[in-house]
Structure 1
Amino acid sequence: MLFDQETHDKLITFRHELHQFPEVSGQEQKTSARVLSFLEYYSPDEIIQDLGGHGLAAVFNGLEKGPTVLVRCELDGLPIQETNDIPYQSKIPGKGHLCGHDGHMVMVAGLAPLLTRTRPTKGRVVLLFQPAEETGAGAKAVIEAPAFTDIKPDYAFSLHNLPGQPLHEVGLKSGPFNCASQGLWITLEGKTSHASHPENGKSPATAMCELVTKLAELPNLSELSNDFSLVTVVHARLGEEAFGISPGFAKVMVTLRSQTDDIMTILRERSEVLISAIAQRHQLKITFGYEDIFAASVNHPAATDILKQAFNDESITQTEMSTPMRWSEDFGQFGRVSKSAMFTLGSGTNQPQLHNPDFDFPDELIETGTQIFYRVIRNVLGPRN
């Protein structure tokens, strides 16, 4: 076993505690405080707080100079009501750790007792607990924080549990690993009128229907069709719930998704050309903007090889992924400042999917995740035994 029984039990108890008190993106103050309390027991050489919001980093120095290895996890939960009937069910109405970030936190926190017991031969390890992953804002805010300059890593690693993949099995590929995505909102303004005389107003109904249809068809354009891209309509609203009013307002929200940032740039450009053309043709005032912006997460070849070696050394069953994950991850931001790589860790073939109200992170994955990260650290920084 990687941990003695006392530490093993402590980690599971900690995971259950985090699960009961989820906080959504940007509001992770109490979660960060719980992590801080756990880490302080193991006396890291430095603890940095308030990174990019409520982010937290613990630094463990090696015995001599060398590279910096950062291991990152996420602090935030989701605005979803949990439906599990478990002793440690969420106590916060309408919020739940239904993506497994509670488990990810404990995997990374589990490195603290190991690093306290055996410091790296060289370099240093940074355990990063990042805020606001679910909105795509957290990683960028952490990297832009002045304090991050002092812990800027040479290598950065992370994982995400993956339902549908066999328990303890890992998935990995070099290059694009998670898709880029952006939330695009559009408002169309015309003029209301009495429903009996719609000709006296300017309804955006036809334009809205055209937008919904045409935006979803953009990935079929020749310049986009050779690479994966997707436009998903997530919301559409027209006027008010009143039978006497011909509407004068509409709103459409779509998620743009692509395998690379370059394709995302094209997708945005084509979306904006289409939106403007439809608005002009129907003589409507238009506004649009973007939220929840995620860059593509791209695994660096050198960091990917380090992970592969760790899997082999620990006899972890691995699958070579042929395509990137469709969902997005703001871990891609760390690839802009370091050699970074992310992998998936199977959370079971019968596990409810991420963001389902009945998802619960499997406790038996804690040791597996920590074991992989610890092997990565030892292979890069020593000691190798």
Structure 2
Amino acid sequence: MPVLNRIADFAEEMKGWRRHLHANPEIGFDCHETAGFVVAKLREFGVDEIHEGLATSGVVALIRGQGDGPVIGLRADMDALPMDEMTGLDHASGTKGRMHACGHDGHTTMLLGAAKYLAETRNFAGTVALIFQPAEEGGGGAGVMVEEGLMERFGIREVYALHNEPGLPVGAFRTAPGPIMAAVDDFSITVTGKGGHGAMPHEAADPVVAACGIVTAIQTIVSRNHHATKDLVISVTQIHTGSADNVIPATAWINGTVRSFDKGVQAMVMRRMREVVEGQAMAYGVKADLDYNLGYPATVNAPEKAAFAAEVAGEVGTASDPDSPREMGAEDFSFMLEQRPGAYLFIGNGETRGVHHPEYDFNDDTAPYGASFFARLVERAQPAER
């Protein structure tokens, strides 16, 4: 079964929604205008309940089907990125420093398309909870919604989400059982020495040399402390220090990111990084303080839900190998999957610029496939009695 006929009928309408959202991006938890647009559409569609203000600007809408049954959750993220757009499109961002460079405008549109169809047809049992979430890009809005009781309040039993993927053909989907995206942590290290003249290093305690030693030693955690068959990335991405060629500074700062899937690996990294930083500081005669911050957990699909979602995706478009490779990127939908079984899938955006690129744009041809997937997922998971 390809794109549902009814959804194909209003594909142009969906394009209009998406381009409006793209031109009016909002950041983090402050997605009030986006939420207002979503709520207006949901009221127009005739959903049964609308709940606003979750995680500041999140929205949950309920659509009841035919007869009793469980509640299935479908989630879309709404927030944009703090960057300038360089597409030159007619519907480009109207706000400098804000851009929908990750396709959340498309994700919101796909869920709105599913909402319109499901509110019209109601060819399912139980209830569908449509979750429109702010602050995926660093704010952890999904975690906040969970902490506010999202799952319990609405009785959600399982939950699903889609993310567009440039390079994957339009109409294609991919997912995998178990971990599909990594946990993301960040760290910062403050190295404090003793400043001095660049010509007299013996009178100083050089934090620059110590910082270089720390960075080099951190790389051995992956190569010498980690089991080679378990995925792990540690990247030092920033070093800041100094003000002049002939001045040894008093302080240096190091920042970076850690990506992993296994909580045991994550614990090992935290322990070894602390040991490395302390040991290197002692060796160079400086003081070093590590601040290690746990971020989004790994996104872990329930195997049976991922297999079911892949089957539904194959009905709407084409589904890839069910053991699709996992990614080292991170996603706060992981907080929802920690609470309820479900699956996270990628949907093809075609040959476009990659996400987070200033020339990226969501492919409007993708939206009918995503909306049809969400709709068929509900109908298949909770079929109405005949």
TM-score range, shorter chain: over 0.9
1:287 aligns with 2:294: no
| Distance across 1 between alignment mates of 2:74 and 2:7 | 22
Could you say which residue in structure 1 is the equivalent of 2:18? 15
User: TM-score of the superposition, structure 2-length normalised?
Assistant: 0.93
| Distance across 1 between alignment mates of 2:93 and 2:294 | 25
Could you say which residue in structure 1 is the equivalent of 2:255? 253
Could you say which residue in structure 1 is the equivalent of 2:203? 200
Could you say which residue in structure 2 is the equivalent of 1:276? 278
| Distance across 2 between alignment mates of 1:13 and 1:194 | 62
Kept in 1, the 8 Å contact 2:45–2:120? The answer is: no
| Distance across 2 between alignment mates of 1:51 and 1:215 | 40
Q: Tell me whether 25-34 or 317-326 shows the greater mean CA deviation.
A: 317-326
1:219 aligns with 2:222: yes
| Distance across 2 between alignment mates of 1:219 and 1:96 | 35
Could you say which residue in structure 2 is the equivalent of 1:340? 342
Q: How do 1:147-162 residues align onto structure 2 when only pairs under 5 Å count?
A: 148-162=151-165
1:361 aligns with 2:362: yes
Q: Counterpart of 1:299 in structure 2: which amino acid?
A: N
Aligned-pair distance for 1:244? 4.3
Q: Tell me whether 146-155 or 204-213 shows the greater mean CA deviation.
A: 146-155
Q: Tell me whether 261-270 or 205-214 shows the greater mean CA deviation.
A: 261-270
Q: How do 1:1-385 residues align onto structure 2 when only pairs under 5 Å count?
A: 1-3=4-6, 7-135=10-138, 137-146=140-149, 148-239=151-242, 241-291=243-293, 293-348=295-350, 350-383=351-384
Secondary structure at 1:65's aligned position in 2? coil
Kept in 2, the 8 Å contact 1:216–1:230? The answer is: no
Aligned-pair distance for 1:182? 0.9
Aligned-pair distance for 1:292? 7.2
Secondary structure at 1:98's aligned position in 2? coil
Q: Counterpart of 1:177 in structure 2: which amino acid?
A: I
Secondary structure at 2:5's aligned position in 1? coil
| Distance across 2 between alignment mates of 1:157 and 1:260 | 22
| Distance across 2 between alignment mates of 1:384 and 1:84 | 48
Secondary structure at 1:129's aligned position in 2? strand
Cα distance change of structure 1 residues 364 and 315 upon mapping to structure 2, 3 Å threshold:
closer
Q: Counterpart of 1:274 in structure 2: which amino acid?
A: V
Kept in 1, the 8 Å contact 2:67–2:384? The answer is: no
| Distance across 1 between alignment mates of 2:356 and 2:261 | 22
Q: Could you report, residue by residue, the CA deviation over 1:135-173 in whole angstroms, capped at 9, with x for unpaired residues?
A: 151111110014552124211101111112122211111
Q: Counterpart of 2:368 in structure 1: which amino acid?
A: E
Kept in 1, the 8 Å contact 2:311–2:319? The answer is: no
Q: Counterpart of 2:100 in structure 1: which amino acid?
A: H
User: TM-score of the superposition, structure 1-length normalised?
Assistant: 0.93
| Distance across 1 between alignment mates of 2:331 and 2:279 | 32
Sequence identity (%):
26
Kept in 1, the 8 Å contact 2:15–2:364? The answer is: yes
Aligned-pair distance for 1:25? 1.7
Kept in 1, the 8 Å contact 2:174–2:320? The answer is: yes
Q: Tell me whether 282-291 or 39-48 shows the greater mean CA deviation.
A: 282-291
Secondary structure at 2:62's aligned position in 1? strand
Aligned-pair distance for 1:87? 0.5
Q: Counterpart of 1:89 in structure 2: which amino acid?
A: A
Aligned-pair distance for 1:201? 2.9
What is the root-mean-square deviation of aligned Cα atoms in Å?
2.0
Q: Counterpart of 1:328 in structure 2: which amino acid?
A: A
Kept in 2, the 8 Å contact 1:153–1:337? The answer is: no
Q: Could you report, residue by residue, the CA deviation over 1:79-119 in whole angstroms, capped at 9, with x for unpaired residues?
A: 12111011001111121101111101100111121121122
Cα distance change of structure 1 residues 97 and 259 upon mapping to structure 2, 3 Å threshold:
same
| Distance across 1 between alignment mates of 2:142 and 2:173 | 23
Q: Tell me whether 300-309 or 215-224 shows the greater mean CA deviation.
A: 215-224
| Distance across 2 between alignment mates of 1:4 and 1:314 | 12
Q: Could you report, residue by residue, the CA deviation over 1:238-267 in whole angstroms, capped at 9, with x for unpaired residues?
A: 13x223421111111111011333322222
Kept in 2, the 8 Å contact 1:52–1:143? The answer is: no
Secondary structure at 1:220's aligned position in 2? helix
| Distance across 2 between alignment mates of 1:161 and 1:369 | 9
Kept in 2, the 8 Å contact 1:136–1:292? The answer is: no
Q: Counterpart of 1:85 in structure 2: which amino acid?
A: G
